[in-house]
Amino acid sequence: MKKRMNYISWDDYFLGIAELSAARSKDPNTQVGACIVSEENKILSVGYNGMPAGCNDDEMPWGREGDFLDTKYPFVCHAELNAILNSNHDLKGSRIYVSLFPCNECAKAIIQSGIKEVIYTCDKYADTDGTKASKMMFKMAGVKTRQIKQEHFVKILPM
């Protein structure tokens, strides 16, 4: 008997894990998941967007509009940053799978931690200055970026 052939690719596998992690997010508007993987295809870390540890997410604001302090934006910890901070490994030479293209703050953390490739699905904020700044920094720092479609994974989230 020959081996099974219709197994999922590494890309679909790790993106699937990023998407599954996103399903843990309490954000009512955008759920983001991240999965960091070594050159040997070993998972080094995962994360999703959420409030910092100890900050009760039932009491924190989740809105997008109004006074800055009444929105989620100053508080929420992004999926990529959580994945970087959750890891106990050296991330040099690794790659990160994310369901949304990283913002400029996460881009800085990605570059500084030595991650060399960003694989993403959604780029819905491509027109924002934050995403433009991310792309500039990734290019200058030699971090590769690659957009892929999730082929073999049933989306868990109503995105």
Query: Which of 35, 36, 106, 118 is the binder for Zn ion (CB under 5 A)?
Result: 106
From first CA to last CA, the distance across the chain in angstroms is 41
Of 35, 13, 155, 32, nearest in space to 99 by CA: 32
Q: List strand residue ranges (DSSP E) for 9-87, in order.
A: 33-37, 43-48
19 is catalytic: no
Does 152 show up as a binding residue in the annotation? no
Nearer to Zn ion, 57 or 105 (CB): 105
Q: How many residues does the chain have?
A: 159
Q: Which is nearer to ligand 5HU, 75 or 153 (CB)?
A: 75
Q: Is 103 annotated as a binding residue?
A: yes
- Active-site residue among 80, 105, 117, 151? 80
Which residues of the shown chain bind ligand 5HU in the complex (CB under 6 A)?
27, 29-30, 32, 49, 64, 72, 76, 78-80, 100, 102-103, 106, 125
The two three-digit tokens of residue 145, written as one number: 């970026």
Residue 78 near Zn ion by CB under 5 A: yes
CA nearest to 153, candidates 27, 1, 33, 3: 33
Q: Residue 55, annotated ligand binder?
A: no
Which residues make up the interface to Zn ion (CB under 5 A)?
78, 103, 106
